[in-house]
Amino acid sequence: MAAMDLNSLRADLFQVARLAELSSHELPAWFSRHLYGSHIVQMGDSAEPWRDLMLRYRTEWLRLIEHGRKRHVKWAELVNAPKAA
């Protein structure tokens, strides 16, 4: 795998790890800033659909990571992700 491809994949995996923060009751400040700052969500609108979407995205990645670990693929070991639900 080319270095550039690995860097991109590594960034995706670290994002997946960080998305675990969305499981808490309160939205993390970085996520709120992104949603409201980019006008994806308008003030007064719920961010819950976006939280749910990103948590589903994370779950899909966790399944891919788990599959990669079973196949002993090195990229799957780049982050300490929990097993998929």
Predicted local confidence at residue 66, as pLDDT? 93
Band (pLDDT 50/70/90 cuts) for residue 79 is confident
State how far the alpha carbon of 36 is from the alpha carbons of 20, 21, 31, 41, 43, in Å.
20, 18, 9, 5, 7
State how far the alpha carbon of 27 is from the alpha carbons of 1, 13, 53, 67, in Å.
35, 20, 14, 29
**Mean of per-residue pLDDT scores for the chain:** 88
What is the spatial distance between Cα 84 and Cα 3, in angstroms, rounded to a whole number? 27
| pTM of structure | 0.80
> Could you identify the residue written with the tokens 């948590």?
55
The full set of domain ranges for the chain reads 46-85
